[in-house]
Amino acid sequence: MDMPQPGPAHAQLARLAGVWEGEERLAPSPWAAAGVARGRLVCRMAVDGLMLLQDYEQTRDGRVAFRAHGVMMLDPAGGDVLWWWFDSAGFPPEPARGRWDGDVLRLAKSTPRGEARYAYHAGGDRLGFAIETRLPGQDAFAAFLTGDYRRRAD
């Protein structure tokens, strides 16, 4: 069997590689109060360029309030981006699934805790990120987190 090789879709994932830091605005949720936080996301291509690995920390009031590890890869069956997110909330990850729409990677997932939509906007040295959720009992999606990050030189 020939091993898969990175292609143009992997190059799109590589646009997220780097060290990103910036401000996040959080809406109130069952997991945290509304407020402003600082996010740091370290992303790198791995596994022969086939996956993007993410390490994330969120700082609120001068201390780390949340940590996570993400894994993105392409579904060989259809080319969708699959994203697993392991975090300090401790829920077993179920993959989000999505595709690029120009400069925006849009993903979505549904779990027993509700539905979520994610958007990464990759633009040079800026990275935007947004999460919208629809929790059980809610009729519409609502903003959960909005982040604006800059690429760091390190």
Question: Could you identify the residue written with the tokens 């990759």?
Answer: 122
Q: Counting Cβ atoms within 10 Å, is residue 91 exposed (0-12), middle (13-18) or buried (19+)?
A: exposed
Tell me how far CA of residue 60 lies from CA of 25, 35, 125, 130, in angstroms: 11, 8, 24, 18
CATH class of 8-151: mainly beta
Residues 107-121: pLDDT tens digits?
999 998 899 999 999
Residues 8-57: pLDDT tens digits?
999 999 999 999 999 999 998 877 889 999 999 999 999 999 999 999 99
Task: Collect all residues with Cβ–Cβ distance below 8 Å to 63 and sequence separation of at least 6.
Answer: none
Measured distance CA(67)–CA(140) in Å, rounded: 27
Q: What is the chain's Cα-based Rg?
A: 16
Measured distance CA(133)–CA(115) in Å, rounded: 6
